Amino acid sequence: MNHILKRKLKFYTKESLKFLIISFIAIGIISAIILIKYKPIYKVKLANNEIGYVQNKKEFEETLKDNIQKTCNGKVIDNITFNNEPSYELSLIERNQKISEEEVLTAIKQEMQITYQYFEIALDGNTVDAVNTKSEAEDLVKLLKQENSSDNLDLSIIEKYTQNENDVKTNNVETVKVAMQNKIEENKIIEQEKKEEEERQNAIPSINGIKLAVTPISGTITSRYGAKSRIRKSTHTGLDIAATKGTPIKVVADGTVTCASYQGSYGNLVKVDHGNGVETWYAHTSKMNVKVGQKVLAGDIIATVGSTGNSTGPHLHLEVRINGEHVDPSLYFYK
């Protein structure tokens, strides 16, 4: 009994082994046939549309990354999103099937939204230039503050993001540094000029806030305010400046003409009201260029020097009046 069982078992073992070997050979042959005809490959899909094949998923993803880095020309990518994320599926295709990784690459890149990051550097809140990274920006600001330690520099870094590659207008750090330094110098000059202009403005004489920016004519002072003269009954109410007949007379400040007519001993008299109770008078003129009610600007030629009225020769009698009272013009002109 035991004998029979043993023999039977031996038989089955032998048969099983035979079957296994045949199976292996068969699988091997089938596999060989398949592999001769087909090759394993990754099918790439975008939104369920097959766009092509790639040989090796990992290598392809590396290529894609390198390609993106190369095309962004050193610009810093903050993140990448896909309109449709590519999917990879391992499959067998016929060996003679052409695979075009180039096309897959192009198709995937069209689905990508790249967000770039860069850093603007501003002086007094105005952007001067930009660099690619935050550390570049921070180092540069630190350096500029050190190099210009005597100035109170208002430097700031502005973080910027864009999906339009052309908006990223960054420069290398050295170029930005030069641009910043130039801007700092430029601002210093502007500041200095502003200060000088302020000083100039402050130096301009003014009455009741009315700046007397223009001298009417240049000439020789022949009679001062308050002088006594045999041709006048009272003391002199203005300042006489002798000049040749026809010399243009400029109005000293903006205002409105309140008189432009012959006024007895004043001869042809132009009066200009400058506001705030301030008036200037121009007497003995030969010709008057303005009419009552006309607006004039400081420096406008309102009349020409003459000798009309009570006058012994061509000169300008200049009078300054505050709230109707004459004051010494040489407090403001011809000092």
Residues 6+ positions from 120 with CB-CB distance below 8 Å: 127, 129, 130, 157, 158, 160
Return the H-helix or E-strand segment holding 134.
Answer: helix 134-147
Cβ closest to Zn ion, residue 40 vs residue 313: 313
| CA nearest neighbour of 131 among 160, 166, 154, 162 | 160
Cβ closest to Zn ion, residue 52 vs residue 267: 267
Return the H-helix or E-strand segment holding 245.
Answer: none
Q: Which amino acid is at 245?
A: K
Cβ closest to Zn ion, residue 132 vs residue 268: 268
In the structure encoding, which two tokens stand for residue 214, read together?
A: 């223009």
Q: Is 119 in contact with 160 (CB distance < 8 Å)? A: yes
Residue bearing tokens 């009741």: 208
Cβ closest to Zn ion, residue 129 vs residue 240: 240
Gyration radius from the chain CA atoms: 48
CA distances from 4 to 7, 16, 17, 57, 143 (A): 5, 18, 20, 58, 98
Cβ closest to Zn ion, residue 274 vs residue 317: 317
Cβ closest to Zn ion, residue 120 vs residue 240: 240
Q: How far is the CB of 239 from Zn ion (least distance, A)?
A: 7
> By Cβ distance, which residue is nearest to Zn ion?
317
Q: ∠ CA 115-125-143 to the nearest 5 degrees?
A: 85
For Zn ion, the binding residues (CB under 5 A) are 238, 240, 317
Q: How far is the CB of 326 from Zn ion (least distance, A)?
A: 11
Q: How far is the CB of 238 from Zn ion (least distance, A)?
A: 5
Cβ closest to Zn ion, residue 75 vs residue 317: 317
Q: How far is the CB of 289 from Zn ion (least distance, A)?
A: 21
Q: How far is the CB of 236 from Zn ion (least distance, A)?
A: 6
Q: How far is the CB of 227 from Zn ion (least distance, A)?
A: 9
Q: How far is the CB of 333 from Zn ion (least distance, A)?
A: 14
Cβ closest to Zn ion, residue 240 vs residue 279: 240
Q: Tell me the residue ranges of DSSP E strands in 31-134.
A: 38-46, 49-54, 76-82, 86-94, 112-123, 126-131
Q: How far is the CB of 277 from Zn ion (least distance, A)?
A: 22
Calculated CA dihedral for residues 29, 33, 34, 40, nearest 10 degrees: 100
SS3 232: coil
Residues 6+ positions from 230 with CB-CB distance below 8 Å: none
